[in-house]
Structure 1
Amino acid sequence: MSDASLGDAHRAWLDALGILTGSAAELTVWQEQRYRFAHRLGELLTVPHVGGAPVIGPVVYGVQLPGAGLSYVGQTLASERRLRDLAVGESHHVGNTVPPEIWERVIVVQWPQLLGDVPEAERALAEQDHGKDAGLALEYQLQRQTRPLLNGRRRTHNGEWRLRNLEDSRSRGARAAGGLPTLFGRVWEIWQELSSMVAPQHGDPVLTVPAGRVVFPSLIV
């Protein structure tokens, strides 16, 4: 898309927001509509579902967009809280950068459910510190594997962006990544399965597997 087309799209977006917030009554409806959607998405990401247990505790997750593809990969030890905040955006920049109403899918992998498939020494390492290092390691490995745009740059203090160098990272996740090869392999298998599932034409916006789920926001009504 050309710079002129991007500029036109930006002005159209601002014009649409001006209409949606043009009066106190319209702003109230807009606020209620957006929170209703975000709250419903948070529910679908966490509550028990047909074929799937509730999502609690440690997970890795990703947000995929219709045009840009997989754009963000994250992890949390408290998915019951963090995934509900993902779309609301109160403490998560993805919901503020890209409205959840246009997300294509959200992928969630409950990696502790895969620990029975890994060697005992690796399982013990993954369980240390309540799984904190393991979650960071899996997040780092997924980011290296998939290169999501919104993880690839950091904000600077002068209002610009700089690229992250994942290969030379000395982060806690990068240091721990080498000790969990089997676990990452299992997570990657589930991640690819959820990434390739075809969205239902109608009805249920959630598809589940034993260690995760994928939610399609466009199917939320």
Structure 2
Amino acid sequence: MSDQVQEDAFRAWRSSLTTLLGDASLLARWQERRYQFAHRVGALLTEAHAESSVTVGPALYGVFASGAGLCYVGQTQEAERRLRDLPVGESHHLANTVPPEVWERVVVIRWPLLLCEAPASEQMEVEAMSSAVCGLALEHTLQVATTPPLNSRRRRTSGDWQPRNLTRSRSRGANHSQQIPELSRLTLAAWKALSEVELPKGAAMVASAVGRVVFPSALHL
């Protein structure tokens, strides 16, 4: 996309928002519409459905947008809270940059459900390092494997962005990621399977034994 095309698109976006927020009553309707949509996405990400139980506890998640592809990968120890908040944007920066109305899919992997398939030695490693640290380790592994753009830079106080070399990270997650190679492999396989699922006709969510993929884009159809 050329700079001029991007600038024209930005002006059109700003003009549309100016129209949508034209007076106090329109602002209220805009607020209601946005929260209603975000609430529906959050419910699909967390609530029980016929083929899937409630999403709780530790999980990895990633947000894809049409065109840009995978934008962001994160992890949480409280999926029931964080995944509801994710599209609302109250406790996460993602929705401020990539609004949920343009999310193509959200993949969720409940990685503790994969532990039973990992070697006993790795199960002991996970117990020793704690669930929180293991979540960070798997998040790091997934980020390195997929290089999502919003994880690949960090904001600076000078108002610009600094590239992050994820492969050279010295974070807790990076330091522990080498201790769980089979669990990492299982997680990446589960991630790949859900990230490639086709949008089902007449549905907005597909579940697997260890997670789900939600299609916010389907809510517009």
Q: What range is the shorter-chain TM-score in?
A: over 0.9
Q: Which amino acid aligns with 1:216?
A: F
Instruction: Give the Cα separation in 2 of the matches to 1:149 and 1:211.
Output: 25
Please name the residue that 1:84 is paired with.
84
Q: Output the CA distance in 1 between the equivalents of 2:125 and 2:46.
A: 26
Match runs of 1:132-143 below 5 Å: 132-143=132-143
Q: Which residue of 2 aligns with 1:104?
A: 104
Structure 1 residue 128 displacement after superposition: 3.9
C-alpha displacement of 1:130: 4.4
2:51 partner amino acid: G
- Verify the 8 A CA contact 1:20 1:27 in the aligned structure 2: yes
Structure 1: how far apart are the matches of 2:186 and 2:65? 24
Instruction: Give the whole-Å Cα distance in 1 for the aligned partners of 2:148 and 2:47.
Output: 26
Amino acid at match of 2:96: N
> Is 1:168 aligned to 2:185, yes or no?
no
Distance of 2:211 and 2:203 partners within structure 1: 16
- Counterpart position of 1:217: 216
Structure 1 residues not aligned, in runs of 5+: none
Identity %: 50
Q: Which residue does the alignment assign to 2:52? A: 52
Residue number in structure 2 paired with 1:194: 194
Q: Say whether residues 1:154 and 2:138 are aligned partners.
A: no
1:205 aligns with 2:204: yes
TM-score by length of 2: 0.97
Letter in 1 for 2:176: A
- In the alignment, residue 36 of structure 1 is paired with which amino acid? Q
What RMSD, in angstroms, separates the aligned Cα atoms of the two structures? Answer: 1.0
Hey, what does 2:23 align to over in structure 1? 23
* 8 A contact 1:44–1:215 mirrored in 2: yes
Displacement, 1:88?
0.4
Deviation at 1:127, TM superposition (A): 3.0
Aligned length: 220
Q: How does 1:27-46 map to 2 (within 5 A)?
A: 27-46=27-46
- Alpha-carbon distance between aligned partners in 2 of 1:34 and 1:159, rounded to the nearest angstrom: 28
Matched-pair contact (CA < 8 Å) for 1:51–1:210: no
| Matched residue SS, 1:220 | helix
Distance (whole Å) between structure 2 residues aligned to residue 90 and residue 66 of structure 1: 23
CA distance in 2, matches of 1:47, 1:127: 28
